[in-house]
A and B are shown apart, each in its own frame.
Chain A
């Protein structure tokens, strides 16, 4: 049995169903991201694990023990909030020491572990500072140290990096990942930022309208999205309508084999970076470059085709870049596209 198991978890607020029949198993030491747009139920799920929201039905089991029977204060979970939620009237060290004090850890042991935790997050010199005299990134680290110092069985991160600017966020992502690897705490991250979820986690649970759409390692979820929602939510993608004739999808002059039993109309999904510019002979979809934007390490194209506008990303690796207005032929490998019946499209 897995370390943390959510089984049939449901939360209703009046008529509104925030989380519906959600089941999930997390292994010890795993870093799992709950990813989805706002209102998808990811924060409610986290709050139910933390104990601040009581589920309408379903169970939560931690290491074989019924977690719902345990009071929030006794669950021993570490939580980091988006707003940091530091105690503003206490110094960084006092903030970190609070949990240990509640556990009744004696004073010398306490100060040793506080120092250790602050050094872990690179704030050894800031122990005596108050939160309001620290930057957002520093406050974030204090919050992390405060959650980790009690050696929680699970670390819950609620949009922990959303309040930081882009550059700092990237640094903190790398740092957070390293710290989690070193400490080995089972971690659940709630985020709406797909790149953050992909960068940090071992597995991603993509959520929409209170349900889990797909649970998979980031790479797998990106390459083989289980539903159109996942495909759209994880990075940019192109969705093209195509006719099927004798087992092949027709796109311009191109013919791509589709799975047997496909209906006459299908939706073909291809990631922008998987599309290339073909030479004369290859089977391809013809189009015209509308815009071309240089972004340093890659070029971003918008190409008008008979099947709609297609986004193409090409690495800036020295190949000639078609100019705006130029006619191009788009091509991709068959394994890079996914096909689904047009009827189920949302």
Chain B
């Protein structure tokens, strides 16, 4: 492998700083003892972390986001597996159209989606419900789930399945024992990406969520419209900390590289 030259090193360093700096600043500001956004020059304080406890709507919004992300990404994945296998394997009429349809949410601005869903959900009477949130999030995360599932389904050697069939396995057994385990890395990364996308979504959700079904990003967005105090920074820092812990745990038990790149690491 070739080593990076000094210019490339400087570029990479600047790039990393540029990416990380806002996050670092947010995390540092979260420890301020003052009542306004500032760096904690007089020593760190946990004042704003304690304040979170007095705002149960933030905690509730956090759990709504977690549930919403989990449910919508799991359902999107359940749709993706048969869709990806069909698209990867069979040449049928409307195959391209179907793929384009599943991918289309990527091309529509979320503001437009938000207004459309708001109108539609109100019409059919599920406006502001958790069900509405789940349905809209499934649509938004489906392209991510399908893309990654499709990539691993396409990359799979069909001969492996033929070998299993020749050994007497039924179609269901082949799917359960051979196909699914082999595309599992793609499924895992598809699920993770879908969950993150759902957890992150604010532009569309802000139209659909109602008091009681607000997600965390929506709650924070609404909060900073009225107040400018370090509470959002402490909430952000908590979410970042939770993400880091989750990543470390996943790396320990599964291997991050395997999860995100979809490449198998060595066997134990």
**Chain A residues packing against B (C-beta within 8 Å):** 50, 52, 72-79, 81, 83, 85-89, 98-99, 102-103, 130, 132-133, 143, 146-147, 150
Question: Is A102 within 8 A of B267, CB to CB?
Answer: no
| B181 interface hit (Cβ, 8 Å) | yes
Closest residue of chain B to A80, judged by CB? B163
Closest residue of chain A to B184, judged by CB? A89
Question: Is B160 within 8 A of A85, CB to CB?
Answer: yes
Docked CA distance A87–B168 (Å)? 15
Residues 114-173 of B at the A interface (beta carbon under 8 Å): 157, 159-160, 162-170, 173
Least Cβ distance of A67 to chain B in Å?
Answer: 13
| B178 interface hit (Cβ, 8 Å) | yes
Question: Is B160 within 8 A of A73, CB to CB?
Answer: no
Residue from the list B163, B168, B182 in contact with A76, Cβ < 8 A: B168
Least Cβ distance of A85 to chain B in Å?
Answer: 4
Question: Is A73 within 8 A of B166, CB to CB?
Answer: yes
Residue from the list B168, B170, B182 in contact with A88, Cβ < 8 A: B182
Docked CA distance A83–B177 (Å)? 20
Docked CA distance A165–B169 (Å)? 32
Least Cβ distance of A239 to chain B in Å?
Answer: 39
Question: Is B160 within 8 A of A98, CB to CB?
Answer: no
Question: Is A133 within 8 A of B166, CB to CB?
Answer: no
Docked CA distance A31–B124 (Å)? 69
The residues of B that contact A89 with a CB separation of less than 8 Å are: 181-182
Query: How many residues belonging to B are interface residues under a CB distance threshold of 8 Å?
Result: 20
A79-B162, A83-B157, A85-B159 as given contacts; A133 in contact with B267, CB under 8 Å: yes
| B43 interface hit (Cβ, 8 Å) | no
Question: Is A74 within 8 A of B159, CB to CB?
Answer: no
Interface flags for B176-188 (1: CB within 8 Å of A; 0: not) read 0110011000000
Closest residue of chain A to B173, judged by CB? A102
The residues of B that contact A88 with a CB separation of less than 8 Å are: 160, 182, 264
The residues of A that contact B157 with a CB separation of less than 8 Å are: 83, 85
The residues of A that contact B181 with a CB separation of less than 8 Å are: 89
Least Cβ distance of B209 to chain A in Å?
Answer: 41
Docked CA distance A67–B50 (Å)? 75
The residues of A that contact B168 with a CB separation of less than 8 Å are: 73-74, 76, 99, 102-103, 150
> A52-B165, A86-B163 are known contacts; what are 6 more A-B pairs with Cβ within 8 Å?
A79-B163, A103-B168, A130-B267, A132-B266, A146-B163, A147-B166
Least Cβ distance of B180 to chain A in Å?
Answer: 10
A87-B178, A88-B264 as given contacts; A102 in contact with B167, CB under 8 Å: yes
Closest residue of chain B to A76, judged by CB? B168
The residues of A that contact B169 with a CB separation of less than 8 Å are: 73, 98, 102
Which of A52, A73, A150 counts the most chain B CB atoms within 10 A?
A73
Question: Is B163 within 8 A of A81, CB to CB?
Answer: yes
The residues of B that contact A52 with a CB separation of less than 8 Å are: 162, 165
Least Cβ distance of A157 to chain B in Å?
Answer: 12
Docked CA distance A133–B178 (Å)? 19
Residue from the list A75, A76, A98 in contact with B164, Cβ < 8 A: A98
Residues 251-268 of B at the A interface (beta carbon under 8 Å): 264, 266-267
Question: Is B164 within 8 A of A87, CB to CB?
Answer: yes
Least Cβ distance of B15 to chain A in Å?
Answer: 34
Residue pairs across A and B with Cβ atoms less than 8 A apart, 26 shown, are A50-B166, A52-B162, A52-B165, A72-B166, A73-B170, A76-B168, A79-B162, A79-B163, A81-B159, A81-B162, A81-B163, A83-B157, A85-B157, A85-B160, A87-B160, A87-B164, A89-B182, A98-B164, A99-B168, A102-B169, A102-B173, A103-B168, A133-B267, A143-B163, A147-B166, A150-B167
A50-B162, A52-B162, A79-B162 as given contacts; A98 in contact with B167, CB under 8 Å: yes
Closest residue of chain B to A104, judged by CB? B168
Docked CA distance A99–B264 (Å)? 25
Closest residue of chain A to B168, judged by CB? A102
Residue from the list B167, B178, B266 in contact with A146, Cβ < 8 A: B167
Docked CA distance A76–B167 (Å)? 7
Residues 215-243 of B at the A interface (beta carbon under 8 Å): none
Which of B168, B169, B173, B177 counts the most chain A CB atoms within 10 A?
B168
The residues of A that contact B170 with a CB separation of less than 8 Å are: 73
Least Cβ distance of A161 to chain B in Å?
Answer: 16
